[in-house]
Amino acid sequence: MNGRRTTYAGRVQGVGFRWKIRALAAGYEVRGSVRNTDEGSVELLVHGDHPEVEAFLEAIRTSDLAGLISSESSEEACLPPGSRGFHIVV
């Protein structure tokens, strides 16, 4: 299993960014969450088999969200035990 914490900066809050990521996640065998940060970025926490996680992250990069992203940073991460599904943290 592979876990990634990815932070997106740019015009990513107030434009439906989290909702689009959640919709994209439905097409992949991943679980995790996406949330706005106090700094104005969006944080994605995703977990799944390495090929699925990488394909999901690439789908975000090539979606219509790409024009809203000015930078992306990513690191390995773990989900809390018992996490299920993919959700938006409000």
The tens digit of pLDDT for each residue in 53-88 reads: 999 999 999 999 999 999 999 999 987 777 889 999
> Which residues are tagged catalytic?
18, 36
The angle subtended at Cα 10 by Cα 86 and Cα 51, nearest 5°, is 40
- Percent of the chain with pLDDT strictly greater than 90: 89
Predicted pLDDT of residue 80: 74
DSSP, collapsed to helix, strand or coil, labels residue 7 as strand
Could you tell me the pTM of the whole model?
0.93
Side chain identity, residue 29:
E
Angle separating helix axes 50-62 and 17-25, nearest 10 degrees: 140
> How many Cα neighbours within 13 Å face the side chain of 38?
0
Could you tell me which of 58, 7, 70, 71 has the C-alpha nearest to residue 35? 7
* CATH class of the domain comprising 2-75: alpha beta
Predicted pLDDT of residue 83: 80
- Percent of the chain with pLDDT strictly greater than 70: 99
